[in-house]
Amino acid sequence: MNDSTRRRYLAGLGTAVTAGLAGCNSLLGGDNGESPSQQVEVPALTQLRGSGSIVEGRPQPEGTSINDLPNLSGELSLYLGGGEGGIYREFVEILEQAYPEFTVLPTTNTSSTLAQQIVEEVDSGASRADVFWSIDASSLAYVTQNDAVELLPEEVTAPVPDSFTGPDNAWVGIAGRARAIPYNTNELSDDDIPNKVAEFPETPALQGTMGWAPTYGAFKSFITAMRLLRGEDATRQWLVDMREAGTERYGNEYVVSQQVADGALSAGFANHYYALRVQNQRPDAPIDLAFTEGDAGALVNVAGATRIQGTGNADLADLFIRHLLTAEAQEFFATRSFAYPMIDGVRPVGDLPLVSELNPPEIDLSELSDLESTLDLMEEAGVSG
């Protein structure tokens, strides 16, 4: 692509992503000896954003713009954890279109599979990928604990709060996923839902009316958090109590959220974005979200990225991860998959509380990779994952 086409695209971009960019000059390093490009074909904000009522009337995203960063160029090998794989892949393709000299060789699988594959590969000196982009912190923690990552430079992790980065910047959060309680607004009101999950088993309105998806990774992380906060006995008992109260089992949390919207369930345990997907698909669906406070039910997990040990491609890997933390990328993830943005300048969609307004428990996300005891405990409670 020649410069004149790039400029034309830039003109099309208009003023979309300019508002918050003035203050970001510190990040304009020109690492590759190139001037920070004013030449990149970044799609207009209206194209980046999702559509539908849920994204109407959003403020301009602020933060580092793609235009502030050096051009991506070269070939990057990417291990991409499943989950919102489609959305993430789409963004990668946008970057590939913007930078004609940039190619990504991706492979997708579940995040935990990729994490274990990376550790085995690094052990044998045969790693294939430069960047690991996982949908949850436990897989990032696993590769970190097994010395399969390289620490990220400060300029990569700077825009993200410390609670969403790994130890010594081993990884950086890209998109937040909050635990939440989707509930049917015809059946319940926000006040009916206690602000601690520990009280759920004794809450009459929630007896035999809830659903969960114990085989789903995010649920296991939620139980891991509870185990870390309240101990094994209390957690096992809680599982038994909820099971005996008639909580119904489903295959995944999207289905749980759909069932809540249908009224088949009054409430459920799910990541926050599933209810938003239901809302986006069916604007009149009687579904809303409640959040508990300071307990496992308020856990905020993250999708994140890290650089794999021994990659000969560190500069490109870092620059790629920085692109995932630009205003455009964060707006894209927030409005397409309804994730919690990791940078201050981008708001979560709809009337979601800000991350700073949520009250997550004091848990180091890296501890979530200890799933063994969680699975044992869930089995003992008859809620096998």
Partner 1 sequence: MSAPDWPAPITDRLDGSGDLGGRTVTAIAVLLAFLLVVPLAWLFIQTATLGDQIPALLTSATTLAVLGRSVALVAAVTGASILVGVPLAVLTVQSNLPFKRFWTVAAALPLAVPSYLGAFAFISAFGPRGAFVDLLAPLGIEKIPSVFGFWGAVFVLTIYTYPYVFLTTRASLLSLDASLVEAARTLNAGRFEAFRRVTLPQIAPGIAAGALLVALYALADFGTPAFMRVQVFTQFIYSRFDAFQQGYAALLSLQLLAVTAVVLFLESRIGADDDGAYESRGNRGKFGFDLGVFRYPAMLLPAGIGLLAVGLPIGIFTAWLFRPGTGLASDGMAFEWAFAANSVQVAVLAAVASLVVALPIGLRGANADSRLSRLAERAPYVGYATPGIVLALALLWFTLDVAPVVYRNYGIPLLVFAYVVRFSSQAVGSIRTSVLQVDSRLHEAARTLGRSRLQTFRAVTLPLIVPGVATGAALVFLTTMKELPATLMLRPLGFETLVTHIWSVRETGAYGQAAIPALVLVVISALSMGVILHQEQRT
Q: How far is CA 363 from CA 60, 93, 106, 317, 340, in A?
A: 32, 35, 32, 28, 18
Q: Is 301 in the site for partner 1 (CB under 8 A)?
A: no
Beta bridge partners of 288: 183
Q: Which range, of 61-69, 94-102, 185-193, 249-257, touches partner 1 by CB under 8 A?
A: 249-257
Among 217, 297, 304, 341, binds partner 1 (CB under 8 A): 217
* Nearest approach, Cβ of residue 127 and partner 1 (Å): 8
Task: Please state, in angstroms and rounded to a whole number, the distance separating the CA atoms of residues 49 and 44.
Answer: 9
State in angstroms the smallest separation of the CB of 310 from partner 1.
12
Residues 10, 241, 277, 359: which binds partner 1 (CB under 8 A)?
A: 277
Closest contact distance (angstroms) between CB of 15 and partner 1 is 23
Instruction: Let me know: does 271 contact 180? Beta carbons within 8 Å.
Output: yes
Q: Where do we find the tokens 């990040």?
A: 27
Q: Is 51 in the site for partner 1 (CB under 8 A)?
A: yes
Whether the CA torsion 117, 120, 125, 126 is positive or negative: it is: negative
Given candidates 212, 222, 238, 254, which one binds partner 1 under the rule CB under 8 A?
254
Name the segment binding partner 1 (CB under 8 A); options: 65-73, 102-110, 173-181, 314-322.
Answer: 102-110
Question: Is residue 99 close enough to count as binding partner 1 by CB under 8 A?
Answer: no
The window from 23-31, 238-246, 272-280, 302-310 that contacts partner 1 (CB under 8 A) reads 272-280
- C-alpha 7/C-alpha 336 separation (Å) is 26
Query: Contact between 113 and partner 1 (CB under 8 A)?
Result: yes
Q: Which two tokens stand for residue 201?
A: 């088993």
Distance of alpha carbon 65 from alpha carbon 323, whole angstroms: 8
Stretch that binds partner 1, among 99-107, 147-155, 225-233, 310-318 (CB under 8 A): 99-107
Q: Which two tokens stand for residue 304?
A: 């994140």
Token readout for 376 is 């044992």
Pairing of strands 267-268, 210-212: parallel
Among 173, 335, 346, 361, binds partner 1 (CB under 8 A): 335
Is 126 among the residues that bind partner 1 (CB under 8 A)?
yes
Cα 244 to chain center, whole Å? Answer: 32
- Cα distances from 257 to residues 197, 270, 292, 335, 338, in angstroms, run 18, 7, 17, 19, 15
Query: How many Å apart are CA 149 and CA 119, to the nearest integer?
Result: 9
37, 71, 112, 235: residue in contact with partner 1 (rule CB under 8 A): 112
Is residue 125 at the binding interface for partner 1, with CB under 8 A as the rule?
A: yes
Number of residues that bind partner 1 (CB under 8 A): 65
Positive/negative CA dihedral, 226, 227, 230, 232: positive
Pseudo-torsion of CA 49, 55, 59, 64, nearest 10°? -30
Contact between 180 and partner 1 per CB under 8 A: no
* Comparison of 68 and 130: residue with beta carbon closer to partner 1: 130
Least separation in angstroms between CB 48 and partner 1:
11
Site residues for partner 1 per CB under 8 A: 49-52, 54-55, 77-78, 82-87, 89-90, 105-110, 112-113, 115-117, 120-121, 123-126, 128-129, 142, 215, 217, 220, 249, 251, 254-255, 258-259, 262, 264, 276-281, 335-338, 369, 371-372, 374-375, 379, 384-385
